[in-house]
Amino acid sequence: MKENRREMLKMSITLMIYTLIAGIALGLVYTVTKDRIAEAELENVISSMVNLLTDENGNTIVNVDEIKKIVLEKRNEMGNVLFEDGVGTVISPVYEFETGNARYFVLTGRAVGYGGNVVTMAAFMLDKNSGELTLKAIKVLDYSQETPGLGAKIGESNVQERFFPIPESGLKNGLKVDKDAGKQSADPEKVKQEGVVKVSDVMTGATITPRAVVSSLNAMYKFLREKYLGGEE
């Protein structure tokens, strides 16, 4: 009987040690994996911002080191809700840069697409002289739940280029996709002035996904103009 008890105790201690070691190992793996994921997310944010803050000639508007610096400084602010308008959501932080006669603001927003949230990053430029805001560029960061061949085409650069540049005259009344505005046959560059994004010819059969992008852009513009800048013109 005593021998059996000793064996059971020995087995229990052995199992306890194995469990403890396994728990520590899993904890270390989780920590390392979490850190790597966080670093990858930061690199994605930085590369997306560099892309947004590059002009049509391929020149960076803001120094890359400055972009990296501000992203790292604000890394602990990432992911908080700054503003909601019932359709789109703006997520922290706001990145701000100043160069020459312009101020640049990079924001991130989300809205529900066909399969889930579609996340978009956008760069707005404020002209210091006129006080006008322009949507300079966008980058769709996450569309992983959208339908391949339909909504997932939002990831293509030629599709995203339809969303910019848009002047404040087109932003004020809220952006719309061409199907909602009834302007499917219009010239894509001309209707941008009115806040219409023509995608029906490059995203045939997909309206919900581009609508999610314009919803997030509308929320970003509202937040930037009405809250962040306090309506200043």
Kindly indicate the confidence band of residue 29, based on its pLDDT and cuts at 50, 70 and 90.
low
Which residues have C-beta within 8 Å of that of residue 180, sequence separation ≥ 6? 207, 211
How far apart, in whole angstroms, are the C-alpha atoms of residue 69 and residue 95?
Answer: 11
Q: Dihedral, CA atoms, 166, 169, 173, 179, nearest 10 degrees? A: -50
pLDDT digit string (tens) for 115-157?
Answer: 999 999 999 999 999 999 999 999 999 999 999 999 999 999 9
The pLDDT value recorded for residue 21 is 82
The pLDDT value recorded for residue 25 is 72
Least confident of 23-37, 103-117, 189-203: 23-37
How far apart, in whole angstroms, are the C-alpha atoms of residue 113 and residue 135?
Answer: 21
The Cα-based distances of 102 to 84, 124, 155 in angstroms read 27, 10, 28
Over range 87-93, report the average pLDDT.
Answer: 97
The pLDDT value recorded for residue 228 is 96
Over range 218-229, report the average pLDDT.
Answer: 97
Kindly indicate the confidence band of residue 199, based on its pLDDT and cuts at 50, 70 and 90.
very high
More confident residue, 154 or 31: 154
DSSP state at residue 56: T
Whether the per-residue pLDDT at 10 is higher than 90: the answer is no
Quick one: which of 171, 151, 157, 155 has its CA closest to 214? 171
Over range 209-216, report the average pLDDT.
Answer: 98
Over range 209-218, report the average pLDDT.
Answer: 98
How far apart, in whole angstroms, are the C-alpha atoms of residue 121 and residue 118?
Answer: 10
Over range 39-59, report the average pLDDT.
Answer: 90
Domain ranges of the chain: 63-228
| Mean pLDDT over the full length of the chain | 90
Whether the per-residue pLDDT at 205 is higher than 90: the answer is no
User: β-strand 88-99 against 102-112: which pairing, if any?
Assistant: antiparallel
